[in-house]
């Protein structure tokens, strides 16, 4: 959802302001994981939307197990 929200915001900017000379994505803490995903997907596009990414978070290793697995406690 956050990746789609960021793309929607980028499109809104383009519609109301216009095409910038350069565009960078930044993510801090958990947002760094989101920015990393955006950069990964964007790099595969024929014409990438972002010129660079700045990730200011710890290791990028995916979501913690607690957010991706069902609880086993009863």
Residue 30 confidence (pLDDT):
87
Helices (H), the chain: 2-16, 30-43, 65-68
Show the tokens assigned to 53: 């990414």
Q: Does residue 66 form part of some domain?
A: no
Structural domain that includes position 54: 2-58
Q: Does residue 73 form part of some domain?
A: no
pTM given for the model: 0.72
Q: Does residue 12 form part of some domain?
A: yes
pLDDT beneath 50: ranges in the chain: 66-69, 71-72, 74
Residue 48 confidence (pLDDT):
95
Residue 10 confidence (pLDDT):
96
Q: In the chain, how many domains are there?
A: 1
């Amino acid at each position: 959802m956050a990746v789609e929200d960021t793309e929607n915001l980028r499109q809104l900017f383009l519609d109301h302001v216009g095409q910038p000379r350069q565009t960078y994505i930044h993510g801090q803490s958990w947002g760094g994981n989101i920015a990393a995903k955006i950069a990964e997907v964007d790099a595969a596009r024929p014409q990438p939307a972002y010129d660079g990414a700045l990730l200011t978070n710890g290791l990028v290793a995916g979501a913690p197990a607690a957010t991706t697995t069902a609880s086993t406690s009863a």
